[in-house]
Amino acid sequence: MSRTTLRTLLAAAATAALAVATATTPAAAAPAPDTAPAVPAAEAGGTAAASGFWACTVPSGYTYTSARNSYACSNGSYTAKEYYVQPPAEGLWACTPVSGYTHIAVQNSHTCSAASYPQTAFLIYKPVTGMWACSVPSGFTYTAVRQGHECSTGSYTATTFQLRAL
């Protein structure tokens, strides 16, 4: 077996092990706070985006990283899904794909669903030439493909694309 093939297999195995460990270990993921963290005084002038907040809908240009059932988004007689909304950022496990970003890994997450079943979470990054990604964003093409577990939420492999900007 060539060194390149061995390295690729080891990298895929490590990524899959990390994804499984992260998905099955609640302590690995920090819970979303009940309230948004305070904005430092230096940033209070309105130039910085809020780091996160609970809302009944996800505004355009944002994603969410956690969901819960709450009476806050209903008339109080039933629970409705409430979202911990955040602006997209590199390295964020987002519960939805985000425009202008691509994702390099996926995992099943109960944090995203607010229910007993898991929902897919996406590890998002700004696309750059040479990056291996699970999807090909607008403005990019791909120059190679490979099979791996990082873009699969099951035991099967999925195609990953090496990106090139147009």
Token pair belonging to 68: 């819960």
Q: How far is CA 23 from CA 1, 109, 121, 160, in A?
A: 31, 6, 10, 20
Position 50 confidence tier, pLDDT thresholds 50, 70, 90: low
Predicted confidence (pLDDT) at residue 20 exceeds the cutoff of 80: no
Predicted confidence (pLDDT) at residue 66 exceeds the cutoff of 90: yes
Position 7 confidence tier, pLDDT thresholds 50, 70, 90: very low
Query: pTM for the complete prediction?
Result: 0.67
Q: How far is CA 133 from the centre of its chain?
A: 13
How confident is the model over 76-104, as pLDDT tens digits?
A: 788 899 999 999 999 999 999 999 999 99
> How would you class 151 by CB atoms within 10 Å of its CB: exposed for 0-12, middle for 13-18, buried for 19 or more?
buried
Predicted confidence (pLDDT) at residue 24 exceeds the cutoff of 90: no
Predicted confidence (pLDDT) at residue 3 exceeds the cutoff of 70: no
How confident is the model over 102-111, as pLDDT tens digits?
A: 999 999 999 9
CA distance 92 to 102: 11
Q: Average pLDDT of the chain?
A: 77
Share of the chain above pLDDT 70, in %: 70
Angle at 30 between CA 70 and CA 38, to 5 degrees: 75
* SS3 letters across 82-109: EEEEECCCCCEEECCCCCCCEEEEEEEE
Residue 32: the pLDDT is 41
Going by the DSSP 8-state scheme, the letter that residue 43 receives in this structure is G
Predicted confidence (pLDDT) at residue 36 exceeds the cutoff of 90: no
Predicted confidence (pLDDT) at residue 133 exceeds the cutoff of 60: yes
Predicted confidence (pLDDT) at residue 72 exceeds the cutoff of 60: yes
